[in-house]
Structure 1
Amino acid sequence: MSKKNQGKKKEKSKSNAANIVKGRLDVTRSGMGFVIVDQLEQDVLVRPNDFNTAMHGDTVMVKIKQPARHNGRMQGEVTEVLERKQNIFMGRLEVSKTFAFFISDSDKPMPDIFIPLSNLNGAVNGARVLVKMVEWEPNKKPLGEVIEVLEEIAENDLDMREIIIENGFPMAFSEEVLEETARIPEILSGSEIAKRRDFRDTLTFTIDPVDAKDFDDALSIRKVKSGFEIGVHIADVSYYVEPDTSLDKEAYQRATSVYLPDRVNPMLPEKISNELCSLRPLEDKFTFSAVFRMSDKGDVKDYWLGRTVIHSNHRFTYEEVQEIIESGDGLYKEEILLLNKFAQRFRKQRFKKGAINFSSQEVRFKLDENRKPIGIMVKESKEAHQLIEEFMLLANRTVAEHVDKFGESAKKKLPFPYRVHDQPDEEKLAPFAAFARKFGHSFDTRSPEQIAESFNQLLKDVAGKPEQHVLEQLGIRTMAKAIYTTKNIGHYGLGFEHYCHFTSPIRRYPDVMVHRTLQDVLDGKFAPDKKMEERCKHSSERERAAMEAERAGNKYKQVEYMQNFLGEEFDGVISGVSSFGFWVETVEHKCEGLVSIASLSEYDDFSHIESDYMLAGRRTGRMFRMGDRVRITVIAANLEKRQLDYEWVITSALKEETGESRYQKRVTAKATEKKGSRKSKKK
């Protein structure tokens, strides 16, 4: 071949490579697909005929067939499915004499799955089942097998399972993983204990939620000559979960536990998460620890990192510790009060150095024996929570700094799973700052430090004011999302230059990676994991999927709970505004629903003013803004869509103008229609 032809071949090869990119396929309800590619500003449109067995959420390679034209999109076709988001689906069977088909419940378009009669595993025609897709060749129907029949399971249980499955998390552990777990010895090895620093005679306790089943962190405290020695002890999961075992591979694929309102889908089998690694009281346990020497004032003078063995003296709940803090009396009161004093000092120093003090509320559901919500509780972060949080932050930061120093001393970059948080996006920050100014709050955006200072001052100034809720929510939305990566850019929200996740290896795989890397560093080994960045990216993706599942689970329980209040009125706060309506969060229940612009159209013609987060009436001048308090009626509660529909309660004058009877008829009709719809679904 001539040099000229060789050159042309190389150019063509480069061109082809540039036209094939990696991304995630997002399939709309209409059936059209869009591949989201990190390196491209615009998504790649993929038509259903070009999916080539890819489904919603799959990681794929896509070939660009048509470049973007004026006001158009790039178009492409999937050439390879790299990773399935899920291969287990929930739906119904249609069984004939010679074969069966599975029809998925998913609202995303997908083909029916062919089930040979030998793969029915006892399922009959019309049965609600879980099916695993085992094979899918191009131009053929996917092949599957029934793995569970679901007919006797309650509707709300099925729906919560579906949330877990549709976000790509398996419902059960494989036999291989369970067998491997069962072989792990329950008795602590004497030879292993001898290798570890022994804290069993040091006062140690855990502080967790009242309903916690696994305890992955504990604190120890003892008086020493120059102050205090305080230990942050973390379950030593990496001792039990060895690299490249079936157990390790399964934990990595899940990457995180998923916490729904009525259950936990764990990263690790129960024997490990709730027994072997859980720091239960009055039991010897293996831990990985960060131990700090502190002055009487709480200044950190020195630290030690390494493997330990502990014996927890007591299991506290947050409520018990809060009672001790507030009353000054109770079990180990002197130690609890001292730890709290140090924690509050750490907290004050963090905010002084640039950490942002966003307040947080946790909504939890009170459930009956059938897992149906019968009440909603709002829990705020109190000093007991902050006590644990500050010592966990201290341990996480110290470990990241220690590993970074090791890399500097070795004059090599050691791949390490940092937890990073980027600075706020300028495009999101500018409209937020302009909006805050309308409430009289100045915002300095000249530097990251000034931004953090402005945020903290704003949060302090708005406390207790009508605009508090809206500005806090919008402020959080301007923030970047924290991720795992080997590229350390620091954690902006916490104000740390070095940060990682070390303290929750029972429920987060990156913490297991941190433990393994830290042990190599402590052993003086420079053993870089060449796949670390890939593992970080996978962990970040799984974390996002878990958050989506948790949001869906919370929304489901909100809808399930508010079904009891169809047609009733509540006070609420506008929590979001769009061109098609506004969202309202009820003050009493913290349940969010949509007031559609269609329901407002007979009172006025409303337009969306995006810069002011507002709907404005053109005739009446009536405005609906984020943060406004409104009165709403619960119109519909759709469990299938996990959606609440509210209607604005109009004033007496408007009721007379439009006809009060017509208004009441509409409310009653919508509520009745939705109840009928729900009964129909159950049938």
Structure 2
Amino acid sequence: MNDTDEGFIKSDSYEERRAKVNDFIHEASYVPMKEKELAVFFQVASEDRDELTAILDDLMSCGMIERTKRGRYAPSDGGIVGIFTSNSKGFGFVTVEGKDEDIYIPQGETKGAFPGDTVSVVLVPSSGPRKEGRVGRILVRGITELVGTYEASKTYGFVRPDNKKIPSDIFVLKEKSRGAVDGDKVVVEITDYGDMDNGKSPEGRVKEIIGNINDPGVDIISIVKAYDIPFEFPERVMNQAERTADSVSEADMAGRRDLRDVQMVTIDGADSKDLDDAVNVTVDDKGLFHLGVHIADVANYVQENSALDREAKKRGTSVYLVDRVIPMLPHKLSNGICSLNQGEDRLALSCLMTINRNGDIIDHDIVESVINVDKRMTYDSVARIILDEDPEDCEKYAELVPMFKDMYELARILKAKRTKRGAVEFDSVESKIVLDSEGKPVSIKPEIRNAAHELIEDFMLSANETVAQHFYWLQMPFVYRTHEQPGPEKIDALASFVRGFGYHLNFKSDEIRPMEIQKLLSKVSGSAEQAIISRVALRSMMQAKYTTECSGHFGLALQYYCHFTSPIRRYPDLQIHRIIKDFLRGRMDDKKMAHYAEILPEVANHSSETERRADEAERETDKLKKAQYMEEHIGEEYEGTISGVTGFGIFVELENTCEGLIRLSDMTDDYYEFDPDNYTLTGTDFGKVYSLGEKVRIRVRAADRVEKTIDFEMLD
């Protein structure tokens, strides 16, 4: 933007320019202007127009300003601003940042808002305890296109959205269908949002035909498209990746600590290809452990603001779906020069820690290094060595067995310390879904974690904590992994719930220590109520996120924590590596500090958002394949555990991790009342109580892969 008195000056930060625009629009003498008129007033150069557009979009998303139907920008109407979530029955809720309670929006008062829209809300009198309102204005549309199934007729068609929170089909004229036929999965661009409150359907045009709903792989790709997850790398990114070196040169190794003679291994799953962490352990004559955690130096190959970096930042994380991995970086890097492959020289960032017999990290060093991994190990083989002393594996890896025993001893010490400080550990179970060549699920079972998984987790936690603490005390801009303590309402609800089972939860002034949660889980371990209390405790937890403030990690009971150990698959780790390298090389001057201070808040927020997006997509693909699997088992009977109790039915989880719903409307033997405080359904006639954690017999009644649902019926 031009260096003028009336407009923006070159030294202004983004926030200062944003403030100038906001102040101008809120002046009493201001007359609503279009973007072009604002650009003329502030004398914005044509090459800087994108920044003005970003500022205006930013102010709208925050509810500070709004755009009129004629495209002019004006001060907002002053309503409460939040994100709208709709329900298929026509009503919705608005989530306001910083507020625990959503605002209920009745049917007919949504103003046609779609899920994800930023809206202003005007509160209205409510007869109940929940705040109620009506949508005043739609400030920013959250959805511009969506994925659904096309249904054709002679002159028009409809797209039924996969997202069931969108309560209306999208009307598509025949000439805008791109030749889609019944059953095609399509991406539809919304051209008119309609007015659902007045019965006018949204309209759109088919932008892309993904494939027929029955074609292999189309179901998963539809979910990928629906979550707007980048699937293919742009040509410029692939070209840059192809130019990356295949091996480490002498010039690359200059100035690095040479650790190629240090005995070390990678420990990963048998099918893993991107190996970004190696470990080694030795014990000195004083009984002190020396733990080395060596992480692939991805930042050496992905320069800031390069095409590779911009694409990695956009993706934020690798996404692990049932039938594929959508990587953050092209395979040329993630499986090649950045993967710590056995017997090959690799560049790394190494966190070298000295740990005493109490598990205290008494000394550390963080260095740029060059390493050479001795063996590529799997979790299963290491577990057989450290737990079973399997003769075959012990003989095969004889030269490494002493180190594995030292590793196991250190891991047990670190875990004992973690337990002592009160870190919360939930026994979560993930699914192992096996597909055939056509993408059909043939096996689903729980994925079992073994001692080797826990060993690597203990070592990575130590490195992440050490790096976070080191840079916190250097007072440098940084990206931390934070986890807030549960809010007062959740603490009260959990305390009230466990009290019904005879347990007490200690907390003061609406604050609770993680140790109290861990004590509770230890007390209920092995009891009949373990499953129910563990589930409710887990649901009371907040969601971890990335921040630039070091506010601590509640679940791990740590004051300092970050993500340092996976730069191949997580962008925050890659960003942290750049900061570390700038510091180690003496480049962290005032200009660099200011640069990182400016960019890191957006990096942290975007990384948190892409992480949530990836988690949701992974859950959706799991639900899809589980429903498809259970379609082949309709009518069969199983024993399961009640995993959820609601006012509309009971969720039951089977031993194979598939979860289904027993609808209350189908339970005709009694009339049931729902108690939301204790998660129970109680029959009014016979007094039968259904509660979380209870074992029940069920029959599979129905399954629908399109809806991603499984229905059970109770067997008495």
Please tell me the TM-score bracket, short chain as reference: 0.7 to 0.9
Does residue 341 of structure 2 align to residue 275 of structure 1? no
Worse-matched range after superposition: 220-229 or 614-623 = 220-229
**C-alpha contact 2:292 2:352 (8 A) present in aligned 1:** yes
Give 2:445's aligned residue.
377
Give 1:666's aligned residue.
none
CA distance in 1, matches of 2:356, 2:480: 29
CA distance in 2, matches of 1:96, 1:620: 55
Give 2:536's aligned residue.
474
Which letter does structure 1 place at the counterpart of 2:311? Answer: E
Give 1:202's aligned residue.
262
Q: What TM-score do you get using the length of structure 1 for normalisation?
A: 0.83
Alignment of 1:355-366 (within 5 A): 355-366=423-434
CA distance in 2, matches of 1:532, 1:382: 36
- Among 244, 250, 259, the residue aligned to 1:184: 244
**C-alpha contact 1:44 1:75 (8 A) present in aligned 2:** no
**C-alpha contact 1:114 1:144 (8 A) present in aligned 2:** no
Worse-matched range after superposition: 14-23 or 573-582 = 14-23
CA distance in 2, matches of 1:155, 1:190: 50
**C-alpha contact 1:46 1:75 (8 A) present in aligned 2:** no
Which letter does structure 2 place at the counterpart of 1:579? Answer: G
**C-alpha contact 1:575 1:583 (8 A) present in aligned 2:** yes
Which letter does structure 2 place at the counterpart of 1:36? Answer: T
Give 2:406's aligned residue.
338
**C-alpha contact 2:187 2:206 (8 A) present in aligned 1:** yes
Alignment of 1:369-448 (within 5 A): 369-407=437-475, 414-446=476-508
Give 1:669's aligned residue.
none
Query: Deviations along 1:521-561, whole A, 9 cap, x unmatched?
Result: 33341423313112211211221111111111211222122
CA distance in 2, matches of 1:105, 1:443: 44
Q: What TM-score do you get using the length of structure 2 for normalisation?
A: 0.79
Aligned-pair identity in percent equals 34
CA distance in 1, matches of 2:229, 2:687: 49
- How far off its partner does 1:437 sit? 2.5
Classify the secondary structure of the residue corresponding to 2:560: coil
Give 1:656's aligned residue.
none
- How far off its partner does 1:257 sit? 1.5
CA distance in 2, matches of 1:67, 1:440: 41
Classify the secondary structure of the residue corresponding to 1:150: strand
- Among 607, 613, 625, the residue aligned to 2:691: 625
Which letter does structure 1 place at the counterpart of 2:222? Answer: E
CA 1:460/1:530 → structure 2, altered by over 3 Å: closer, same or farther?
same
Classify the secondary structure of the residue corresponding to 1:481: coil
- How far off its partner does 1:451 sit? 4.2
**C-alpha contact 2:185 2:222 (8 A) present in aligned 1:** no
- How far off its partner does 1:294 sit? 4.0
Classify the secondary structure of the residue corresponding to 1:612: coil
**C-alpha contact 2:289 2:410 (8 A) present in aligned 1:** no
Which letter does structure 2 place at the counterpart of 1:173? Answer: F
- How far off its partner does 1:31 sit? 6.0
CA 1:534/1:43 → structure 2, altered by over 3 Å: closer, same or farther?
farther
Count how many residue pairs are aligned between Structure 1 and Structure 2.
623
**C-alpha contact 2:91 2:107 (8 A) present in aligned 1:** yes
Does residue 124 of structure 2 align to residue 68 of structure 1? yes
Which letter does structure 1 place at the counterpart of 2:459? Answer: F
Give 1:173's aligned residue.
233
**C-alpha contact 1:233 1:290 (8 A) present in aligned 2:** yes
**C-alpha contact 1:580 1:596 (8 A) present in aligned 2:** yes
Worse-matched range after superposition: 515-524 or 233-242 = 515-524
- Among 26, 32, 35, the residue aligned to 2:85: 26
- How far off its partner does 1:284 sit? 1.8
Worse-matched range after superposition: 623-632 or 421-430 = 421-430
CA distance in 2, matches of 1:208, 1:168: 29
RMSD: 3.4
- How far off its partner does 1:392 sit? 0.3
Give 1:565's aligned residue.
633
CA distance in 1, matches of 2:554, 2:566: 21
**C-alpha contact 2:546 2:608 (8 A) present in aligned 1:** yes
Which letter does structure 1 place at the counterpart of 2:296? Answer: A
Alignment of 1:60-139 (within 5 A): 60=118, 62-64=119-121, 66-71=122-127, 72-81=132-141, 87=145, 89=147, 91-92=149-150, 103=159, 105-106=161-162, 107=164, 108=166, 109=168, 111-112=170-171, 128=184, 130-131=186-187, 133=189
Give 1:308's aligned residue.
369
- How far off its partner does 1:361 sit? 2.2
- How far off its partner does 1:220 sit? 2.6
Which letter does structure 2 place at the counterpart of 1:191? Answer: A
Which letter does structure 2 place at the counterpart of 1:495? Answer: A
Alignment of 1:498-513 (within 5 A): 498-513=560-575
Unaligned stretches of 5+ residues in structure 2: 1-25, 33-63, 66-73, 195-201
Classify the secondary structure of the residue corresponding to 1:180: helix
**C-alpha contact 1:282 1:312 (8 A) present in aligned 2:** yes
CA distance in 1, matches of 2:500, 2:93: 38
CA distance in 1, matches of 2:242, 2:108: 45
- How far off its partner does 1:42 sit? 4.2
Does residue 654 of structure 2 align to residue 598 of structure 1? no
- How far off its partner does 1:448 sit? 8.8
Which letter does structure 1 place at the counterpart of 2:97? Answer: D
- Among 95, 98, 117, the residue aligned to 1:36: 95
CA distance in 2, matches of 1:593, 1:217: 38
Give 1:532's aligned residue.
600
Give 1:645's aligned residue.
711
Classify the secondary structure of the residue corresponding to 1:529: helix
**C-alpha contact 2:434 2:442 (8 A) present in aligned 1:** yes
